[in-house]
Amino acid sequence: MRHTTGSDLKVHPQTVAVLTLSKSSILRDLLQSAWRLRELDRDQSVTIIVTEDDVKIMSDLLIRFYGESERIDKNNPIVDFKKILLYLATNEAMKSAEVNDRSIRGAQRPRVVEQVYDTLTSTTAFQEYRVDFFNAFEKVKGFFSSPRGQKPHERYGIPIVPIDMWIF
């Protein structure tokens, strides 16, 4: 299902669902998808499929955070469900941490900009050393403007296409 949150399908009481997971899946994805089967606690079941490449990525992450004991055996086609759950929970925590970090940085940026602006526009901060003002601004101007040029090729680069790809 493309959008599993909120989908409620009437299915056979003994349905076996096939659920695909990837390296970017989180625990919520699994739970939302699996519990679309309202009788999962009775006769319905779920088969989980993960590509070999994603299993390797999952295994590497588990080893990095929890040690060798959490390695997923690449020669065993059946992955321990506890390791899948551990990976999904860890991946979800990492994604939440990233979002929280961006949120905190976003909240801090206006305060930093305000302090820098107040210092740069202070009539007393650079009275004796006017050159220091320009040096200071060079170090913080990225807070106030885009460091890219104004022309498209300065902002985005010049596209390079091999001659043999040109169509005439």
Please indicate, yes or no, if residue 76 is contained in any of the structural domains: yes
- CA of 48: how far to CAs of 23, 39, 93, 111, in Å? 13, 17, 21, 47
Please indicate, yes or no, if residue 139 is contained in any of the structural domains: no
Please indicate, yes or no, if residue 80 is contained in any of the structural domains: yes
Work out how many domains the chain is built from and give that number.
Answer: 1
CA distance 72 to 56: 8
Phi and psi angles of residue 118, each rounded to the nearest 5 degrees, phi first: -60, -40
CB 16 within 8 Å of CB 45? yes
Please indicate, yes or no, if residue 58 is contained in any of the structural domains: yes
* Residue in the block written with tokens 């999952």: 58
* Ramachandran bin of 21, using left for φ above 0, alpha for ψ from -120 to 50, beta for the remaining angles: beta
Per-residue pLDDT tens over the stretch 43-68: 888 889 999 999 999 999 999 999 99
Domain that holds residue 48: 16-93
Please indicate, yes or no, if residue 45 is contained in any of the structural domains: yes
Residues in Cβ contact with 127 at an 8 Å cutoff, skipping those fewer than 6 apart: none
Report the chain (168 residues): mean pLDDT per 10 consecutive residues. 61 87 93 82 88 94 95 90 94 92 81 77 68 70 63 65 63
Report the pLDDT value the prediction gives residue 158, as an integer from 0 to 100: 66
CA distance 107 to 18: 42
Please indicate, yes or no, if residue 115 is contained in any of the structural domains: no
Please indicate, yes or no, if residue 122 is contained in any of the structural domains: no
Please indicate, yes or no, if residue 86 is contained in any of the structural domains: yes
